[in-house]
Copies of this chain bind each other. A is one copy, B any other.
C-alpha cells in the first residue's frame, strides 16, 4: 500500500489509533476471504479495493475536494444517491461494521444501542475513519430512534442534515417524502454551489440505476444451483457498492458477472444448504454471520437487508419532462423499500416469501443487530409467515464482538442439520 499518512494526517486522523485498525483488517480479511477456494477471478478487483480501503479511494475524494467538489456521508439506503450525483458531489455510504469503533462510540452514546450506530459515532469521535474525515456533511434520516437522536450528538463533530422519512406509506406520506427530497436538493445545491437540473438529475438517476442493475444481475446469478459465488463475496461487493466510484464499480461488477455467467454453465451442485439472511444491515467489515455459515459448508444465496436487496431492488423511472416528474419518480422508488421503520410493513413479509421461492431457499436466518427494536419486533411476523410456508427460520441477535461466535456457530450448525 502506498503511504497515505500525509493525507490521513491532513484529514485529522488519529494516526496512532488508526494504525491499530489498519493492523487488524488485513488479517481479518485474509482469514475470511482469501482462504475461500475457487474464487472468481473478478474478485481480484474487490480484493484490491479492500487492500486500498483507506488509501486510493480517499485520495480520489481528496482530489475531488481539491477541485472544489464536496463529499457527503450517508448511513441509510433512503438517502437518494441520485440527488448527490446530480449536485456533482460524491456520496460515501459510511462503513460502521467494526467492533473497533464501538468503544469510542460508547463515550457519547448509551451502551445498549445498536453496534452500527455506536460504531459510526466512534469512528468520528475517535477520528479513525478517513471517509468520515473527508465528509463535508453527513446526511441523516429518521429511520430509527437510535440514529434520529445520534445525529444530534454527531452534529457537534460534523455538520449533519437530517431528512425526515415518513413512518407510514399513506398517500400523504408520499407527498411528504417528495417535499423532503426537494429540500434535500436545495441543501445539496447550497453545499455544492451546483444547480440540480432535469439533465443532471436524470443522469444521477441513470448512474444509480446502473448500479442497481449490476447488483440485480449479480443477485440473479445466485438463484442458480449452485450459486456461482459465495455469500461472503456478494456481501463484500454490496458493502463496497456504498462507497466505491459508481462507474468503475458497475464496470468491474459486470465483468465479474460475465465470468459468473460462464461458471453457471459448468456448475456442479454439491447439495449445499441455501440460506436467506433477512433483517438488519451488515456494514463493512461485518462478515461475522456469513463467515460462520459458509464455514459450515452452507451457502448464503440472498440477503433481504439494507446491504442486500433493499439497496438495489426497483429502479427509478428515468422518464419525465420536468424536475418535479423526476423527483416524484425518485420518491416512488424509495417508498417501495420495505424497511421495518414503516408501520405497517407487510410488504417486507411479501418480499421474504417471494425470495424464498426465487432463490430456492432451504432456510432463513433472521439477523438482528442488538437493540434494533423495529426489526426485532417484526421477527414474530417473519417467523409466522415462514412457518406457514414450512420454511425453517432461526433468529440470531448479535453485535460486532466475537464473544458469541462459538455459540452462534453451534446454533447455526444445529439449524443446518435440521434442514
Q: Which residues of A contact B (CB under 8 A)?
A: 108-110, 112-113, 142, 144-146, 148-153, 162, 164, 166-168, 172-173, 176, 179, 340-341, 343-345, 370-371, 373-374, 376-381, 397
Contact in complex: B377, A109 (CB < 8 Å): yes
7 A-B contacts (beta carbon < 8 Å):
A110-B376, A110-B377, A110-B379, A112-B370, A145-B374, A148-B343, A152-B377
Contact in complex: B373, A149 (CB < 8 Å): yes
CB nearest neighbor in B for A372: B145
CB nearest neighbor in B for A109: B377
Contact in complex: B168, A166 (CB < 8 Å): no
Contact in complex: B343, A377 (CB < 8 Å): no
A199 CB → nearest B CB, Å: 29
Bound-state Cα–Cα, A258 to B168, Å: 47
Given contacts A164-B167, A343-B162, contact A373 B146 (CB under 8 A): yes
CB nearest neighbor in B for A166: B164
Contact in complex: B148, A374 (CB < 8 Å): yes
Bound-state Cα–Cα, A172 to B166, Å: 13
CB nearest neighbor in B for A370: B112
Bound-state Cα–Cα, A262 to B401, Å: 61
CB nearest neighbor in B for A148: B343
Bound-state Cα–Cα, A343 to B350, Å: 32
Bound-state Cα–Cα, A80 to B164, Å: 23
Bound-state Cα–Cα, A150 to B381, Å: 12
Chain B positions within 8 Å of A145 at CB level: 144-145, 341, 373-374
Chain B positions within 8 Å of A179 at CB level: 172
Further 16 A-B residue pairs, CB within 8 A, beyond A109-B377, A142-B343: A109-B380, A110-B377, A112-B112, A113-B377, A142-B168, A144-B145, A145-B145, A145-B341, A148-B167, A148-B343, A152-B343, A152-B345, A162-B168, A162-B343, A371-B371, A373-B373
Bound-state Cα–Cα, A377 to B108, Å: 8
A82 CB → nearest B CB, Å: 22
Chain B positions within 8 Å of A397 at CB level: 110
Chain B positions within 8 Å of A144 at CB level: 145
| A150 contact from B167, B173, B377, Cβ within 8 A | B377
Bound-state Cα–Cα, A373 to B167, Å: 17
Contact in complex: B112, A371 (CB < 8 Å): yes
CB nearest neighbor in B for A371: B112
Bound-state Cα–Cα, A376 to B153, Å: 12
Bound-state Cα–Cα, A405 to B385, Å: 41
CB nearest neighbor in B for A341: B145
Contact in complex: B343, A380 (CB < 8 Å): no
Contact in complex: A113, B373 (CB < 8 Å): yes
Chain B positions within 8 Å of A380 at CB level: 108-109, 153
CB nearest neighbor in B for A140: B343
A413 CB → nearest B CB, Å: 24
Chain B positions within 8 Å of A343 at CB level: 142, 148-149, 151-152, 162
Chain B positions within 8 Å of A167 at CB level: 142, 148, 164, 167
Bound-state Cα–Cα, A340 to B144, Å: 13
Chain B positions within 8 Å of A164 at CB level: 166-168, 173
Contact in complex: A373, B166 (CB < 8 Å): no
Chain B positions within 8 Å of A341 at CB level: 145
| A381 contact from B148, B152, B370, B377, Cβ within 8 A | B152
Bound-state Cα–Cα, A164 to B109, Å: 27
